[in-house]
Amino acid sequence: MPFSVPPDDDEDHEHSPAERSAAASRSTWVSVAVNLVLTTVQITVGLLAKSQGLVADGIHSLSDLVADFVVLVANHHSQKDADTDHPYGHQRFETAASLVLGALLLAVGLGMLWSAFLKLEQPETVAQVHAVALWVAAGALLAKELLFRYMLAVAKRIKSSMLVANAWHARSDAASSLVVGIGIAGNLAGYPILDPIAAAIVGFMVAKMGWEFGWDALHDLMDRAIDDAEVDAIRQTLQGTPGIQGVHDIRTRKMGDMIVVDAHIEVDATLSVEAGHDIAVEARKRVMQRHRVLNLMTHVDPWRRPDLDHEADQAAASPRS
């Protein structure tokens, strides 16, 4: 789902990386606590109440719990400073962890789908669900919705697009609990087949989420470029730097949640090497201050005024006496 972070009332206030990291850690630990409780209750009650849908939703919550720990571990390792073996830092640790997590979720989702299809092939084996399963499903729906609202509020406060995405992920979890609740209600109303159907839907949602996580992470590990809108924003910042006459051949690649940029900048050909270097340094400083850029590598190209180039061409073409 597309998202954006609206500006706060105090637009001039900027949160430091330490503040943003601490806020992300706190909200993730809240998510860990909620998913731990939900996993335990949903799977236990699901088994006792004979609700395959509730067990599937509990496994979904368990996958979220695993995802939370992956985020915490990845956040810890990705904050390490650059070293000899990793001159650009360790930001891609998070991307690699996302690839592993995606593969895990895909396998779990496919397993849930297979189990549900086995039940659907033998509908007579579907047991009557106990009413307590419906109450647990309703409680899970409420908990996940409240978690979504909390995480979204934190994301808006620190202006973090990554946390906004995590918040919307919690909202998608609430949707799975809603599906399970409908399946359990259908089972209690005399349509037992609806419970394994709900389990199959949740399994599909988990598998889809795993595929998307893994596919995106794989592309990022293959140096996928950022979107055109962000490239244009970086181009505008470069072109607005005093002394730069033109910008071309901008190349980008993702490094975790950051970006590494290569760009050719054009400066007046009559300037000294030192002056051209100073302009490149200022351009790098401006880009790294205004965008999520980890490093900018510039190549300085000479620029001549078109009228001077025309005069030089005429002088070269004129016959010598």
Q: Are residues 152 and 235 in the same domain?
A: no
Q: Are residues 162 and 41 in the same domain?
A: yes
pLDDT, residue 314, reads 57
* Greater model confidence, 39 or 314: 39
pLDDT, residue 45, reads 93
Mean of the per-residue pLDDT values of the chain = 80
Q: How confident is the model at residue 272 (pLDDT cuts 50, 70, 90)?
A: very high
pLDDT, residue 12, reads 40
Q: Are residues 28 and 134 in the same domain?
A: yes
pLDDT, residue 161, reads 56
Q: How confident is the model at residue 6 (pLDDT cuts 50, 70, 90)?
A: very low
Report the C-alpha gap between 99 and 92 in whole angstroms. 11
Tens of pLDDT along 228-242? 999 999 999 999 999
Residue 9 forms part of a structural domain:
no
Local structure of residue 126 (DSSP, 8 states): P
Residue 1 forms part of a structural domain:
no
Tens of pLDDT along 76-131? 665 666 667 666 665 676 777 778 778 877 888 888 788 888 878 877 767 788 88
Q: Are residues 136 and 36 in the same domain?
A: yes
CB 213 within 8 A of CB 100: no
* pLDDT exceeds cutoff 50 at 175: yes
pTM of the predicted model as reported, rounded to 2 decimal places: 0.63
pLDDT, residue 1, reads 42
Report the C-alpha gap between 170 and 29 in whole angstroms. 14
pLDDT, residue 291, reads 92
**Which two tokens mark 10?**
């105090």
Q: How confident is the model at residue 75 (pLDDT cuts 50, 70, 90)?
A: low
Would you call 261 helix, strand, or coil by DSSP? strand
Q: CA distances (Å), 310 to each of 229, 268, 306, in order?
A: 36, 16, 6
Tens of pLDDT along 213-223? 788 888 888 87
Tens of pLDDT along 135-160? 999 999 999 889 888 888 887 787 66
Report the pLDDT averaged over residues 47-51: 90
**Which two tokens mark 232?**
């244009």
CATH number reported for the structural domain that contains residue 200 in this entry: 1.20.1510.10
Which residue range forms the structural domain that includes residue 239?
228-317
pLDDT, residue 5, reads 42
Q: What are the beta bridge partners of residue 244?
A: 267
CB 184 within 8 A of CB 52: no
How many domains does one find in the chain? 2
pLDDT, residue 298, reads 92
133 residue type, one letter: A
* pLDDT exceeds cutoff 60 at 163: yes
Which H or E run contains 309?
Answer: helix 306-317
* pLDDT exceeds cutoff 70 at 295: yes
Q: Are residues 171 and 248 in the same domain?
A: no
CATH number reported for the structural domain that contains residue 283 in this entry: 3.30.70.1350
Q: Are residues 202 and 282 in the same domain?
A: no
Report the C-alpha gap between 16 and 239 in whole angstroms. 27
- Residue 177 makes CB contacts below 8 A (sequence gap 6+) with 57, 137, 140, 141, 144
Q: What phi, psi does 127 have (nearest 5°)?
A: -85, 160
Q: Are residues 96 and 174 in the same domain?
A: yes
* pLDDT exceeds cutoff 50 at 68: yes
